[in-house]
Amino acid sequence: MNAVLDARRMKAAEAFRASGVPHRRVEAWKYSDLRAVANESEIAEAGMVNWSLEKSDDVDLFDLASADVTPDWVKNHLGVLSRKAPMDAASLAFAHGGFALRIPKGRSGSAQVQFSSAGQGRILIVVEDGGSLTYSEMNAEGVLGLQNIGAEFVISTNAQLTHSRVMGESAAAVQIEEITVSVARSGSYRLHNANFGSRLSRTELHIALNGEDAEAHLFGVSVLGSDTHADVTTHIAHLVGDTRSTQLFKHVAGGKSRAVYQGKITVAKGADGSDSQQTAKALLLGERAEADLKPELEIFADDVKCAHGAAVGDLDAESMFYLRTRGIPEAEARGVLMRAFLEDAFTDVRDESIRVQLLSAVEVALGKLS
């Protein structure tokens, strides 16, 4: 093992034990009480997540469980962006496996990973100057136990990372992923997220736009039934001027499920010319379903364009009546309206294979609700 990385892991373990397991009295976790479903020992002893990965030739891969000499690009970045927040610190401290990917300067490539078990895992992705990576994440359905993954994405000057996630329904699982992203000048991070719920599911993103013309664009859907839970929490920091971000998250919640979106935008002092748009909407399909939407703006600059909004409602009664009077059965009409509601969350998907993957997963999930 590398002494530098061992020291970072030790500090992360200390940070986790000092802060403890997040719970509902912690403002950022008020809708997702992790302490109610996992204790400190269970988190520390969760073991290692199982993963399998396919990649194109231009992508460098390093297995973090390998006994091989750790490359400099891994030593220089692994654990550096870690915020020492409890679950991010836990994944760095206790994940004895995971992987690191690198796109060398000016290259482009793709990678697809599937997680198939509970356990701790760590991800590092470095996209060097002018590089481009399309990265897809799949989480198998039916995972049992606690899964905690921490990720660090380093996007260099004029580099691009397109990230898609499909979180299969795992009603007995506790699934956490904390992603920290650094975007340099003229860099771009783009996320397409689909979540179908677990006993407690939380995806947390912290994105720093560090250079002019840096961009972050986040799109996501949650389709939830039964008593599943899905929490998306984001924080995008516009640290310099002339940076852009958009967020659009749509949720469909049926049964006794709970959909959560907490989104915060911070525009730092002097970050004039920043442009940020933030929207979250939810459809509740029953009296026992719940949606908690909390967009937030924190602005310290003057010349900015920032907007945010949230809305929660039921399927439109007039639209349902219109479809029913034209002979469309109720279940089919409900499906049509739910697909129409979710549709604009997919309009920005530029890669056709990603679009097909996301839409297929959503179609299956909607079929269970109709």
pLDDT tens string 182-193:
999 999 999 999
Helix (H, G, I), strand (E, B) or coil at 157: coil
pLDDT in tens, 98-150: 999 999 999 999 999 999 999 999 999 999 999 999 999 999 888 999 999 99
pTM over 0.85: yes
pLDDT in tens, 229-261: 999 999 999 999 999 999 999 999 999 999 999
Tokens found for residue 335: 């499906």
Extended beta strands in the chain, E state: 51-55, 60-63, 98-103, 108-115, 119-127, 132-139, 145-155, 160-167, 170-183, 188-195, 198-209, 215-224, 229-238, 244-253, 258-267, 275-284, 290-299, 305-313
Q: Please state, in angstroms and rounded to a whole number, the distance separating the CA atoms of residues 370 and 366.
A: 6
| 168-177: average pLDDT | 95
Report the candidate in 220, 108, 97 with the shortest Cα–Cα distance to residue 161: 108
The pLDDT-based confidence of 1 (bands split at 50, 70, 90) is low
- What is the average pLDDT score of the chain? 94
Burial 91-130 (b: 16+ CB within 10 A, else e): bbbbbebbbbbbbbeebbbbbbbbbbbbbbbbbbbbbbbb
**Cα separation values, 53 from 115, 126, 129, 168, Å:** 9, 16, 24, 17
